[in-house]
Structures are given as C-alpha cells and as structure tokens.
Structure 1
Amino acid sequence: MRVLLLDLDSTRPDHLGCYGYHRNTSPNIDRIAEEAVRFNQYYTSDAPCFPSRTALTTGKFGIHNGVVGHGGTAADLRHEGEGRQFKSQLDTESFASIFRSAGLKTALISPFGERHSAWPFYAGYHEMYNTGKGGMESAEEVTPVVEDWLERNGAQDDWMLYVNFWDPHTPYRAPESFGNPFADDPLPAWITDEVFEQHRKKVGPHSAMEINMYNNETLPEYPRYPGELENKDDLRRMMDGYDCGVRHMDEHVGRVFKKLEDLGVMDDVVIIITADHGENMGELGIYGEHGTADQGTCRIPMIIRWPGKTTGSIDDGLHYHIDLLPTLAEMFGTQPSPNWDGQSYATVISEDKDAGRDYLVVSQCAHVCQRSVRFDDWLYIRTYHDGYHLFAKEMLFNIKEDPHEQHNVAQERKDICMKAVYLLNEWHDDMMNSMDVDVDPLWTVMKEGGPYHAKGHLKKYAERLVETGRTEAVEELKRRHPQEQL
C-alpha cells in the first residue's frame, strides 16, 4: 500500500473548487475529489497550527495533551510522569505509528517541528526532511524535495509520505511571475460596501486596518499581502493574494501527481488532502489570520481517495481531524489506541455509511481564548479572552444562513445558547474525568497572562487606535484587560 498525505497549511475548504468556490483555484485537487470522499463538516479540534498538529500527532484533544497555545506552559506536551516506560506512548500511539504498525515506511517533508520547537511532531517517521525556512517556504522549495523522494521510493510498495505545503499561509508568497489568474473574477458577494465599512471600524489584530496584526506595515518581498484594507482595491489584493497562494500550491500538487503518474503508481495511491486550519477572510471582521475558534479558522478540508472504496461521495457528518487516527487504524485492520480521543468514520470510506458526531467542541488559545460548539446549523462561541477584539462573551451564528458569521444572534436565541452551554459542559466534564490531572490548559493560558499573541501588546496598540480615530475602543480594552498597563 502507498499513502500520500498533503497537509495544506491555512487552506479553507470554501476556497477550493470542489467545495463550490466560484474561482478556479484548485483544478488538481478537484480532480482527486471527484474520485474521493469529500467531507463537508470537518474541523480541527484545536487551532491554530501548533495545537492542531499536536492533536493530530497524539490523537488527543489539546485539553488532554496539554498543547493549546503558542507559548508558556500550555505549549509543551504533558509529561507522562513516573509511569513513563523506556519509550513514550508516542512510540505506538502517534499518527505515524499507525502506518508503521501496518508495515509502511514513513517519511515526512515539513519544517514544522523546527517552526514551533514541536519536536514530538516527528514521532514515528523513519525519514524526516526539513525544507528549511520554518514555514516561509514557497512551493518551489518543497516540490523538488517531494519529487526526489518519490523518484527514489515511489515505485516501491508500502510507504506513507506526509507533505507540508505553505503557500496559502500569510504572508501570501506566490511569486510575481505567477501573475494573477483571478484579476477579472468577482470578489465574494457577501462583503458589500456596508459590510466592508463595518469591518473598517473594527478593532483587534488582523482587522481591516491592521492586517499586520497590530499595525499596517508591509514587507516589500511580499507584494500580494497588504498592510491595511482602505478600499475595495486593497480587499481585492488580499483575496487575490490568498487565492493565488492556493492556486500556486495546487499547481505544485499537480506536479506531485504527475510524478506518481510517471512512476505508474498513481491509481494505487491512497491520497489524503487536508489542512491544519483555515483562514479568516472577513469572518468576525478578521482578515488573513486563523486566530479564533470559529468556522473560518477551524473548518478544514478533508478529501480521501482510497482505491477500491467509496468514490465521488460527499459526507455531511461532523468530524474532528483527530478522528482520522482511529479511522486509519480500522482501515488497516490494526487496533486503535484507547488513549485516542478520535472516533472512527471508516464506514464512510468503505461503505458510504454515515458516522458523524452529534456535536463538536473546538478550541483556540493562541490568539484568543475561546471554545466553540458546532451542532445542527449552529456555531456557539464562548470567549474567555478576546485577544483585544472586543468580542462578546457569547456569540451565536446560524452557519447555514450566515456562514461568514456577520450576525450574532445570541441575545435573540438564548434557548440555543443554553443548549450549547449544556453541550460544552458535558464535553468539559468528559474531558476532565478522563485526565490524570485537574488542570484545564485553557485556564493555564489565562492565569499566565492570556494568549501568546495578545499579551503585552495593548499599550502600543492603544496608541495605534488613538492615531486612527478609534479612541472609544481604548477605554473598553482597558476595562477588559486591567492587568496590562497603558
């Protein structure tokens, strides 16, 4: 058996053609989707990249493995303690160990371990190739490494290759020579002039006036990435920059597929296409970031083409990305770990039979501290630290009617909020009851001063708000964050 997993950083599903996007961003991915199961309601359990990939590596929610943020105590895996054996649990329970148990050679092409000192990410791989720029790679630097590995190993049997592409991640890096195939395509219709002006008034990192997190500075080496959205031309530059990143990456994905075809093995390879998280492009008034526990950040693509199994199918069940571990174990006929938090959906792949969950709880503690509940048509977001965005404590969105989260109906639908809080409490009880410790790492982040990307920046940001005529927000930020001196 041969398995290729493509981890496409910051790729949101609704900017792919196979998920209904109006721009032709992903012809090569779309071609695989026609032969695959495409999952519509697939979410990372923990965002952004470090918590997401740690959850996938360990098969556990961040609340269990301990990694929920980008710094502080909650950016390290929990120690196994005195019960730790000669080898850690990751020896047999990591994501890559599933393939090793099935007799496959495992290889990883990614700089991610170095990017966040996320060394457990390497667990279970026979070979690891660091593409060297900590996530600032363009596909031109990744694809040759992939092609070389396939040239040497692709025709052999029994391998799994995990490949990390970064082009949709900020700052958008498709080379100028790539041009702009979307210059004449319309912008998303939901961002009307009125909506855009509302976004211009918003405060918080990566809002329309601070694309560069806390200011509007730009980098000349990344001309596709604006520092501020002053008008619709800037908005086009932002959207086109992201979509060019997706399309540029897709062309390199096509090169990988071409190599498999040249080797004569393409029809036999299991292909898994997914991402660590999405990218807010206006959701909650945020652009070019993945810093919330919402639909824009946490919904991810999942496309699985398994030769001889279900083809051309769409699954609408609710799934976490960590559900992939027990799913693969079942598909390979091996035993899932009792320590994993995932739930297998192998029947979707093998029988086109639903295996979705009743609800999901997704978390974010790197830019804000939030937990959200996704159920029925609803997304309920509970905010513990607003990351300077002035979010309401409770937000509720009808994702079916309002997929871009523009209308918070929490006040009007208290009944739905009450159900969501009940589900959140049920999940939290289950998580705490299944832990050897009594510490929720979300609260560790809170007690250590707040999320990494929103700690110690308020004084400087308040100066920026005053300079740009948004003085009224400063007093409210001071009230919400009294620990930060202005």
Structure 2
Amino acid sequence: MRILYLDLDSTRPDHLGCYGYHRNTSPNIDAIAKESVLFTNYYTSDAPCFPSRTALTTGKFGIHNGVVGHGGTAADVRHEGIDRQFKDRCATDNLAAVLKNNGFRTSLISPFGERHSAWTFYAGYHEIHNTGKSGIESAEEVTPTVLRWIDQNAHDDNWFLYVNYWDPHTPYRVPLDYANPFENDPLPEWLTDEVFERHQQSVGPHGARDMWMYSNRNIWKNVEYPRYPGELLNREQLKQAIDGYDMGVRYMDEHIGHVIDALRAKGVMDDLVVIISADHGENLGELGIYGEHGTADQCTCRIPMIIRWPGARQGAVDHGLHYHLDLNPTLTEMLGVKAPASWDGRSYAPVLREEADCGRDYLVVSQCAHVCQRSVRFQDYLYIRTYHDGFHLFPTEMLFDLKNDPHEQVNLAETRRDLCREAVYYLNEWHDEMMHSMPFDTDPLWTVIREGGPYHAKGFLRNYAVRLEESGRGHAVPELKRRHPREFE
C-alpha cells in the first residue's frame, strides 16, 4: 500500500470547487475528489497550525498533549517526567511512528518542524526533507523535491509520503508572472458594501485596516509582497485580497496536478491512497478578520478532507462530524494495524467501505494562539466561548446558525439562550472527560491566560491603540483598556 498525504496549509474547503465554490480554484483536487469520499464537516481539534499538527501527529487533543498555542509553556509538548523511557512516546505513538513500526517507509517534505521548533512533528519519519523557508516557500520551491522523491521511490511498496504546501497562507506570494485567473470573477456575494463598511470599523489584528496583524505596514524586512495589501480601503483592494488567497489555492492545485501526473506516469495510481486535507482554514472577512486563522470559528477550524482509497467508495460524501485526529485510527483500521491506546481519535473506516454513520454528536474545537476560545459544533450551530478576545472585543458568547448564516454575520447568543445552555453542557461534558482522562491537573488554555494571554496578543496593545486613534477607530480604546489593563501598565 502506498499513501500520499497532502497537507495544504490554510486551505478552507468552501474555496475548493468540489465543495461548491463558484471560482475554478481546484480542478486537480476536484478530479481526485470524484474518486474519493469527501467529508463536509471535518474540523481541526486545535487551531492554528502548530496545535493542529501536533494534535494530528500525536493523535491527542491539545488539552492532552499540552500544545494549544504558539509560545510559552503551551507551545511545548507535555513532558512525560519520571515515566519517560529511553525514547519518549512519540517514537511509538506518533502517526508516522506507528506506520514506520508496521513496515512503512515514512517520508516528510515540509519545513514545519523548523518553523515551530517541533521535534514532535518529525518523530517517526525515516527521512525528512526541509524545503528551507519555514513556510514562506511557494509551490515551485516544493514540487521539485516531491518529484525527485517520486522518481526515486514511487515503485517501492508500503510508503507514506507527507507533503506540505503553503501557498494559501499569508502573505500571498504567487509569482508575479502568474496571471490572475479570477480577474473577471465576482467577489463572494456575502461581502456586500454594508458588510465591508462594517469591517473597516472593526478592531483587532488582521482586520480590514490592519492586514499586517496590528498595522498596514509590511512586517517582513527587505521582502515585498505586492499581491498582499496592507489594508482594505476600497472594494478593489478587497478583491485583491480575496483573489490573492484564491490564486494561492489555484497555483498550489496546479502543482498538485504535476505530482499526480508523475505518480500516474509511474503506474502506481491503482493502489495509491491519496489524502487531501489542511491544518486549518482561513478567515476571509468572517468576524471582521482577513487572511488569518485566529479564532475557533467555522472558517478557521473547518478543513477539507478528501480520501481516495482504492477499492473503497468513490464519489461519495459524508456529512458526519469528525475531528482531524480521527484520521489516525481510521488509517490503522483500514491497514489492519493496532492503534495506540493514547490516541483520542475515533475511526470512521466504515464510511470509506460503505455508507455508514460514524459522526460524533458534537465537537469541541480550541484556539489559544491569537485568542483563547473554545467552540462547540453541534446540530447546525457553532457556539463560541471567548476567554481572551485577542483585542477583537468579541463578546463572551457567540452563537451562529451555520446552515443559514455560514459566514457568521448574526450572533444569536442573546436570543437563543436555550441553544447556548445546550452548548455549554456539551463543553462541560467534554472538559470533564478530558480532565479525567489525563494525569495532569492543568488545562493549557488557562496556562496561556495566566502567562499573559495568547502569544500573538502580548505586548502589542499600547502601540496598537495609537494605530486605532490614527485610523479613526479610537472609540474602541477605552474598552480595550478596560478589558486588558495590564497591557497599558
């Protein structure tokens, strides 16, 4: 069995053609989807990138593995302490380690371990190819390494190849000689003039006026990104931002086509498993945020999952609720391999073999790098509870009807207290189960808060308040001072 795992950073499913997007962003991914099972309600358990990939590789929720943020104590996998053996548990329980220890050659093409100093991400791989730019590389800098690997190894049996593409991630950096295929395509209909005007008055990092996190100025020294605007002052710049994201998806998709063509030329497609997913999605206006994955909302935490498994179902769609770490026990079950007892995932292998319902009753997803939030995905709703607002001035509770309001425009928390209470019950039930099932007495979300707040919301507020005054949004400063007095000390 041969397995190709494509990890497409910051790719949101509703900007792929196979998920119904109105732009032709993903013809090669769409072609694979026709031979696959496509999952419509698939979520990372922990956002953004480092927590998400740590949860996937370890098979454990962030509250269990300890990684829920990008800095401080919560950016390190929990120490095993006195029970640690000659090697830590990553050597046996990581997804790649399980495959390696069961006869697979495991290969990784990604810079991600270096980007976040993440040994955990590397554990279990026979070989690691670092593409060298810590996530700023474009597809043309990744694909040659992938093609060389395919040329040298594709005919071998039992391999697992993990490939990481980055092009939809900000800053948008598709080469300038690549023509914009969406130049004449309209913007998504929900981004009306009224919505856009409201976004221009919103506050918080990566808003319409502050695309470079807390300002409209490029934060990358000596590097220009002309496809990525500093702020969105008009609809032309708004279109530039949305086109920039979609061009990243399309450019990446073309390179995925090159990879698939190379595998087809090697004659290995008949027994090749292709898995296409992402670490997280991306807010493109939702909650007033552009070009960032900074919340525990639908657009950040919902991800694509497309599984092409020879001999399994083709052209099928599954609407069940699943975590991304449910992939791990699904793979082991499909391969006839024993799953580690430490994994938190739940297999949905029957969905791949036959039409079956393996979805969960609800999901709890977390974000502690930009804000501190936990959200409950249940029925048609998403309930978001905010513990630290990351300077966005979010209310403590938000509730959205995703069926009728997929872009999170109307907060129902005040009018549907019954649904909020139901969500809080699920949240407490999940939290009790998590705390009872680990040998630690701390929830890392609260570690983040006690250490001063999310990594991307520490030490910026004083200067950002000046930026708000200068850009006509000074009305928000008194409330920011009330909520975050220590930032002004």
Bucket of the pairwise TM-score, normalised by the shorter protein: over 0.9
Runs (4+) of structure 1 moved beyond 2 Å?
218-221
Does the 8 Å CA contact 1:98/1:328 hold for their aligned counterparts?
Answer: no
What is the match of residue 109 of structure 2?
A: 109
| 1:345 matches 2:321 | no
Describe the SS at the equivalent of 2:377: strand
Match of 2:473 among 466, 470, 475: 470
Describe the SS at the equivalent of 1:315: strand
Provide the C-alpha distance between the structure 2 equivalents of 1:404 and 1:63, rounded to a whole number of angstroms: 28
Sequence identity (%) = 69
2:130 aligned partner, one-letter code = N
1:71-90 aligned within 5 A: 71-90=71-90
Structure 1: gaps of 5 or more residues: none
Describe the SS at the equivalent of 1:371: strand
| 1:211 matches 2:192 | no
Provide the C-alpha distance between the structure 2 equivalents of 1:169 and 1:87, rounded to a whole number of angstroms: 34
Provide the C-alpha distance between the structure 2 equivalents of 1:329 and 1:352, rounded to a whole number of angstroms: 19
What is the match of residue 372 of structure 2?
A: 369
What is the match of residue 199 of structure 2?
A: 199
Match of 2:457 among 454, 459, 467: 454
Does the 8 Å CA contact 1:267/1:307 hold for their aligned counterparts?
Answer: yes
What is the match of residue 338 of structure 2?
A: 335
Does the 8 Å CA contact 1:101/1:334 hold for their aligned counterparts?
Answer: no
Does the 8 Å CA contact 1:5/1:162 hold for their aligned counterparts?
Answer: yes
What is the match of residue 295 of structure 1?
A: 298
Give the C-alpha shift of residue 229 in structure 1.
0.5
Q: How big is each residue's C-alpha offset from its partner over 1:117-152, in whole Å with a ceiling of 9 and x where there is no partner?
A: 011100100000000000000001100000000100
What is the match of residue 161 of structure 2?
A: 161
What is the match of residue 28 of structure 2?
A: 28
Q: How big is each residue's C-alpha offset from its partner over 1:242-295, in whole Å with a ceiling of 9 and x where there is no partner?
A: 000000000000000010011111232100000000010011010000000000
What is the match of residue 10 of structure 1?
A: 10
Does the 8 Å CA contact 1:98/1:325 hold for their aligned counterparts?
Answer: no
Does the 8 Å CA contact 1:328/1:346 hold for their aligned counterparts?
Answer: yes
1:190-269 aligned within 5 A: 190-218=190-218, 221-269=224-272
Give the C-alpha shift of residue 483 in structure 1.
1.1
| 1:148 matches 2:148 | yes
2:107 aligned partner, one-letter code = A
2:84 aligned partner, one-letter code = R
1:472 aligned partner, one-letter code = H
Provide the C-alpha distance between the structure 1 equivalents of 2:97 and 2:286, rounded to a whole number of angstroms: 37
Give the C-alpha shift of residue 350 in structure 1.
1.3
| 1:405 matches 2:382 | no
Structure 2: gaps of 5 or more residues: none
What is the match of residue 64 of structure 1?
A: 64
Describe the SS at the equivalent of 1:382: strand
Give the C-alpha shift of residue 337 in structure 1.
1.4
Does the 8 Å CA contact 1:102/1:332 hold for their aligned counterparts?
Answer: no
Give the C-alpha shift of residue 104 in structure 1.
1.1
Provide the C-alpha distance between the structure 2 equivalents of 1:98 and 1:26, rounded to a whole number of angstroms: 32
Give the C-alpha shift of residue 352 in structure 1.
2.4
Which one is further off, 301-310 or 79-88?
A: 79-88
| 1:485 matches 2:488 | yes
Which one is further off, 84-93 or 310-319?
A: 84-93
Provide the C-alpha distance between the structure 1 equivalents of 2:146 and 2:95, rounded to a whole number of angstroms: 20
| 1:319 matches 2:310 | no
Q: How big is each residue's C-alpha offset from its partner over 1:35-69, in whole Å with a ceiling of 9 and x where there is no partner?
A: 00000000000000000000011000000000000
2:289 aligned partner, one-letter code = I
Residues paired across the two proteins, number? 486
Provide the C-alpha distance between the structure 2 equivalents of 1:275 and 1:98, rounded to a whole number of angstroms: 21
Provide the C-alpha distance between the structure 1 equivalents of 2:268 and 2:177, rounded to a whole number of angstroms: 32
Normalising by structure 2, we get a TM-score of 0.98
Give the C-alpha shift of residue 98 in structure 1.
2.9
Match of 1:381 among 356, 377, 384: 384
Provide the C-alpha distance between the structure 1 equivalents of 2:136 and 2:207, rounded to a whole number of angstroms: 22
Does the 8 Å CA contact 1:13/1:300 hold for their aligned counterparts?
Answer: yes
